[in-house]
Amino acid sequence: MQIETRNLTLQDYNELAETMKRAYPQMSESIWSKKSIDKLTKIFPNGQICITVDGKLAAVALSIIVNYEEFGDDHTYSDITGNYTFNTHTSTGNVLYGIEVFVDPEFRELRLGRRLYDARKELCELLNLKSIVLGGRIPNYHKYSHELSARNYIRKVRDKEIYDPVLSFQLSNNFLPIKILKKYLPEDEASRENAVLLQWNNIYYSRKPNTMQDSIIRLGLVQWQMRTFKDIEAFYEQVEFFVNVMGDYKSDFVLFPELFNTPLLAPFNNLSERDSMIELSKLTEQIKEKISELAISYNVNIISGSMPVFDSDNNDLYNVSYLLHRDGRMDEYRKIHITPNEKRYYGMKGGNEIKVFDTDCGKIGLVICYDVEFPELPRILADQGMKILFVPYLTDTQNAYMRVRHCAAARAIENECYVAIAGCVGNLPKVNNMDIQFGQAAVFTPSDFAFPSNAVKGEATPNTEMTLIVDVDLNLLKDLHHNGSVQVMKDRRKDLYETYLK
């Protein structure tokens, strides 16, 4: 058996007429005219879909695009089709309106109706339309109209107390009933002239043009080798090398590790750990400005790992990451959870601001190393719309790295987002408290069919200086949220517990 889904053509008309008569034996006088099919296939060929079985026409779906606000939720079939002229169709509309679906009774066991609806949904997504809307018949209503109002009939069908061949099918395809349309199709006696206004929302819809093409985000992660630099210009040269590489590969983001500029501590080795970090902080503003210039020059958003910032007024030392946008904007995040080591040796303080950042690639989150081990923090960011979480880290031993890795992987699953981590590797023997590093950059995903089976999109070779370039698809996250095998963000028992920002 050969089944093919394709666009309907005028040459299919004779078969269409015969198939429609078999599908609607009680409405044989309402067969589509050849003139109507001719016009529909000319003004919107992609919206007219048919399925053939072994070359025989078996099912048909007809659609137009409308500016739905011109009609609203109270319209008739004649209104929406322009009294069957289809002058209501416009390529600049925002809703795909379904005006017909039928299947030859001979082939109904093949579930061809579901294929037609899936094809419509794909078309809606491809054209970046807001939704699919249609007026659905309720052909079994005449059997119950003497005892049930149309509203109660729909409720019973929805609760599966009554089966309706049309409405039950549409509900199973995730169409939501909006309201009852009176006098929608006067010749539909079986429905008592009623129809159910049904809507399927395109979760990928965006006011941004070409949203289906713009959902792929390229992440560039730097696995940074700790090495001594003769001066700050040599440091800049190494940073620019990686930014240049990522720019050539059209990356949207470059992620550097936590405290990746600490090789510049070497001249201050005669000082205490805290005093040497304060001296390093005097270079932070200069480094931030330089990397911002690179972000603009190479057209890439850069997360500059993290660097120390000293507040001389309060004598406070912070661990700060900068998001340097390719349009010149600058954002900062101050590490909130300070490790015992950072407190003991540097006297660092934690930041107090939790927020997502708006970028030209959507909303992202940024936390630093130890922060990712506190699940409340990324959960709050996820509730604010974060889709990608960036985690620059610095770990000395493998067990420390594994804490960051496993927690980052968990955050991806529980928050339905991508998590990218990048750290330093190698040894730095001439800098106090920075002597050894263990690292492996990686990008983690949720765990469902659309993602890698191990929920790891990509990972670098451990303890080797290199880059990791990975593409992530934001639309897969939308689909997961609405249709995933499990839907963690939706299924939280907020009646029992809650995570909130004070």
User: Which amino acid is residue 321, in one-letter code?
Assistant: S
61 Cβ contact list (under 8 Å, min separation 6)? 48, 49, 50, 98, 100, 101, 116, 117, 119, 120
For residues 280 and 230, the answer to whether their CB atoms sit within 8 Å is: no
User: Which amino acid is residue 434, in one-letter code?
Assistant: M
451: left (phi over 0), alpha (psi -120 to 50) or beta: beta
With the C-alpha atoms ordered 266, 268, 273, 277, is the resulting torsion angle positive or negative? Answer: negative
- Determine the Cα–Cα distance for residues 380 and 390; give it in Å rounded to an integer: 15
b/e for 62-100, b at 16 or more Cβ within 10 A? bbbbbebeebeeebbbeebbeeeebebbeeebbbbbbbe
For residues 220 and 422, the answer to whether their CB atoms sit within 8 Å is: no
For residues 396 and 409, the answer to whether their CB atoms sit within 8 Å is: no
Can 361 be counted among the known catalytic residues? no
How many Å from the N-terminal Cα to the C-terminal Cα in the chain? 62
The secondary element (H helix, E strand) that includes residue 284 is helix 284-297
Q: Which of 50, 124, 361, 369 is catalytic?
A: 369
Q: Which of 15, 50, 124, 258 is catalytic?
A: 258
- Taken as a whole, the chain contains a residue count of 502
- Determine the Cα–Cα distance for residues 198 and 174; give it in Å rounded to an integer: 10
For residues 468 and 486, the answer to whether their CB atoms sit within 8 Å is: no
Other Cβ atoms within 10 Å of 393 Cβ, number: 27
- Residue spans of alpha helices (H) in 67-149: 77-81, 112-126
- Determine the Cα–Cα distance for residues 148 and 162; give it in Å rounded to an integer: 11
- β pairing state of 176-181 and 131-136: unpaired
For residues 366 and 390, the answer to whether their CB atoms sit within 8 Å is: yes
Q: Which of 335, 349, 363, 457 is catalytic?
A: 335
Rounded to whole angstroms, what are the CA distances from 268 to 304, 434, 435? 22, 13, 15
DSSP state letters, 423-485: EEEEE-TTSTT-SEE----EEE---STTS-TTSEEEEPPTTS-EEEEEEEEHHHHHHHHHH-S
Can 335 be counted among the known catalytic residues? yes
Can 230 be counted among the known catalytic residues? no
Q: Which residues are catalytic?
A: 258, 335, 369
